[in-house]
Amino acid sequence: MARKPIKIRAKLKGSMTTVKCLMSHPMETGRRKNKKTGKLIPAHFIQNVVAKHGDNEVLNADWSGGVSKNPYMAFKFSGASKGDTVTISWTDNMGKSASASATIK
């Protein structure tokens, strides 16, 4: 698929770590039609996103096709220090998955 499935930025400020990420995914709802053939484009969207700080799960998100194409997500959590690893992985409705990690700056 895409070269970089997930881009992650994690930054520590005070006690809170802000994590921002961009995923590369078509996020088809299954309601759109191919303009040339008139056929429905099958649904293809990320269903589940898990963010981990080390082994600790900090965020678990369930999504529908209502999330925009190439989804952006941001959240904050506490208890991390510089140099720790944040891992984000997703699974879509076709069973595909991707995962990436970044160190907290």
102 vs 83: CA distance, rounded Å: 9
- Site of interaction with another protein (CB under 8 A): 16, 29-35, 40, 42-43, 47-48, 50, 53, 56-69, 71-79, 91, 93-95, 97
Smallest distance, another protein to C-beta of residue 1, A: 14
Smallest distance, another protein to C-beta of residue 38, A: 9
52 vs 75: CA distance, rounded Å: 12
8 by DSSP, 3-state: which?
A: strand
Smallest distance, another protein to C-beta of residue 39, A: 10
